[in-house]
Amino acid sequence: MLSIVSDVLCGEEVKYFSCGKCKTRMKVVDTIVLHGTGGASAMSSVVHLCNPGTKVAAHTVVGRDGDYYQMVPYVIKAWHAGVSMHQGRANVNDFSIGVEMDNGGQLKRKGNRFFSSFGREYMPNEVYTGIENGRAVYWHAYTAEQVEAVIRLCRLLRVHYGIKYLVRHSDITSRKVDPGPAFPFEEVKKRAGFVY
């Protein structure tokens, strides 16, 4: 059973990592920001986010198998939103929990093959095809296990902290497109209990 104890996620599917560069306690926590990692694996994203030499961090990564990787306690400010705005408030890092989802991001098609920006090939059954400006676009699909894990986590965070808002990274800054059209945001929002 998934739970939160002392601002840390608890459950048999949770792995813990230390991201010591984040130390400032947030005064308000009322928003969850969902991200796609655009990376090769959950572990490679965890290593990057925990690296003391990078200027990025997040609270949790959700793996493709539905496992959770927590790096920062939920009341400590993490550096996941960058220059951002939500509900008339700038610096969304100051009041939000960053949830990263392991995902290769937007893909390029070469013939009948699909590749990430970092050169990994994805099989056609792992590819989401959408239409943008009348043209086909390709994204790494999220897994059913991952989507269910995100719903469970967002529901738990909403209840535990009284979270009001669930947003995508692309909702708070025009610089970003993640988690992208492959992610079923409206379904997740509804099933996690966000009604605004």
pLDDT in tens, 100-125: 999 999 999 999 999 999 999 999 99
Give the mean pLDDT of 10-36.
Answer: 97
**Residue 115 gets which letter from DSSP?**
E
Full-model pTM: 0.97
- Provide CB contacts within 8 A for 193, sequence distance 6+: 155, 158, 159
Q: CA–CA separation, 140 vs 129, rounded Å?
A: 9
Residue 195 above 90 pLDDT? Answer: no
CB 45, CB 132: distance < 8 Å: no
Residue 190 above 80 pLDDT? Answer: yes
Sign of CA dihedral 194, 140, 41, 19: negative
- Helix ranges, 126-184 (H): 144-161, 169-172
Residue 64 above 80 pLDDT? Answer: yes
Give the mean pLDDT of 41-49.
Answer: 98
